[in-house]
Structure 1
Amino acid sequence: MTSQDPYQLVAKWNVPVGTEVHNVILEHNISTGNKLLRVDGTVIVKQNSILTRVGDHEFPISNLKALLSIKCTDRGDWVHTLSINGMTFKDYKNGYYQNFTTWKPEIAGREFFITFDKHRSEVFVDGGNIRTTRRFVECGTSTIFHLHRAFCEIIEQGVGGRTAMTQKLSVDNTPVPVFKDKEDGVFIVKPTGAR
């Protein structure tokens, strides 16, 4: 993109809220100050002014309060930071993953977002609660459901005699790795020509 472009993609965050994930996209042309902030495709902030290249933008994500902070360092780097409910994005997500376990399996050519609510032992697919069958098994509890004819099972078991539990998903008896977005919520854009 050139400096003539009104916007340039700078940052993208996936914000888990309960059983859903919200997409936050920031487009910011550093030279002109033009900014476009979207949440799930809806424009939340649109500014076309060189006078507003830095600053804070507060906006809602579901029932949460999000804050986008844009700063320029002494070296000329542009730092874009997202915080949620007054916490760094990283701390917010750590708290989220204490309450939910998530997976992103591909079934029948489509990626699904599966969420297990650890407190209610409920399963959600792409934000919607689904019917499951639960039974006790030798190692803990089995939660069974089907997606596009695929057999899905979440085994929940205790860890080393402690009260902590782990959840493992398998689809058609194939283990699916837990999905934890590692993004810390900070994006740095270096000035053109910088290394």
Structure 2
Amino acid sequence: MADQTESLAALWKVPLNDRNYLIEFFHNTTTGKRVIIVDGKKIVSTDWMFKLVGSEEFLLGIDESRCVINIEPNGPFSYEYTLCVDGMDIQKFVEVKSRTCCTWNVQVSGKDYRVVLEKDSLDILINGKKIDVTGEFIENGTETHFSLDEIPAYIVAVATGIKREGLQYTLIINDVVIPYVN
């Protein structure tokens, strides 16, 4: 992993369409060395001789989301670390993602799947890849049918009757309701 002289400066969990990623950022404030580890794998290691502030950029996930870690001074001998994903700070990114997508993590036939419904386009992504679906209208909403490993699945979108809440989304796989992640 990281060298013993580097200390863990920041840790973030980033939810993307294909899965959640754990980002560790190590910063040696004596030499300026920076290391980025994603899910236990070192992806960036730079040695900026005595350049202690700045930024590190990298791509993340199947969609290659652009990530930037910014290092700013925060007092005489301390630093502040922020992560931006696709141009938004991590808090805003997570907020927007939870507002625009519905996410479910399921296991079917011994395989793990991440099912994401993009509310604005009604696209369904399985482990980050858009799939073909069949939609049909039902009373007060729609059903969007697809399959996971040959197992029938569908997402039901129904009106809640409350204007501020909009639609309620439910994933059903093989007639079992799957709990919502976000």
Equivalence for 2:13: 13
Separation of aligned partners in 2, 1:53 and 1:8: 14
Separation of aligned partners in 2, 1:92 and 1:109: 31
Aligned length: 176
Contact 2:5 2:28 (8 Å CA) reproduced:
no
Identity over aligned residues, as a percent? 20
Equivalence for 2:131: 130
Cα distance, 1:39–1:139 mapped onto 2, change above 3 Å: same
In the superposition, the TM-score normalised over structure 1's length comes to 0.68
Contact 2:14 2:90 (8 Å CA) reproduced:
no
Greater relative contact order (Cα 8 A, min sep 6): structure 1 or 2? Answer: 1
1:143 corresponds to 2:144: yes
Separation of aligned partners in 1, 2:27 and 2:126: 36
Residues 21-47 of structure 1, C-alpha deviations (whole Å, 9 max, x = no match): 57463341546543222569683x422
Equivalence for 1:186: none
Separation of aligned partners in 2, 1:82 and 1:69: 6
- How far the C-alpha of 1:179 sits from its partner, in A, is 2.2
Cα distance, 1:26–1:54 mapped onto 2, change above 3 Å: farther
- How far the C-alpha of 1:154 sits from its partner, in A, is 0.6
Cα distance, 1:6–1:115 mapped onto 2, change above 3 Å: same
Mapping 1:1-195, distance limit 5 Å? 5=4, 10-16=10-16, 19-21=17-19, 23=21, 25-30=23-28, 33-37=32-36, 43=43, 45-49=44-48, 51-60=50-59, 65-71=66-72, 73-74=74-75, 79-160=80-161, 162=163, 164-180=166-182
Separation of aligned partners in 2, 1:50 and 1:173: 59
| Partner amino acid, structure 2, of 1:48 | D
Cα distance, 1:23–1:82 mapped onto 2, change above 3 Å: same
- How far the C-alpha of 1:156 sits from its partner, in A, is 0.4
- Residue 94 of structure 2 aligns to a residue in which SS? helix
- Residue 14 of structure 2 aligns to a residue in which SS? strand
Separation of aligned partners in 2, 1:102 and 1:177: 9
| Partner amino acid, structure 2, of 1:168 | T
Unaligned stretches of 5+ residues in structure 2: none
In the superposition, the TM-score normalised over structure 2's length comes to 0.72
- How far the C-alpha of 1:135 sits from its partner, in A, is 1.9
| Partner amino acid, structure 2, of 1:55 | G
Equivalence for 1:191: none
Give the structure with the higher percent strand: 2
Cα distance, 1:50–1:175 mapped onto 2, change above 3 Å: farther
- Residue 121 of structure 2 aligns to a residue in which SS? coil
Residues 135-188 of structure 1, C-alpha deviations (whole Å, 9 max, x = no match): 2223421112221233322100112253822211122222222223xxxxxxxx
- Give the aligned CA root-mean-square deviation in angstroms: 3.5
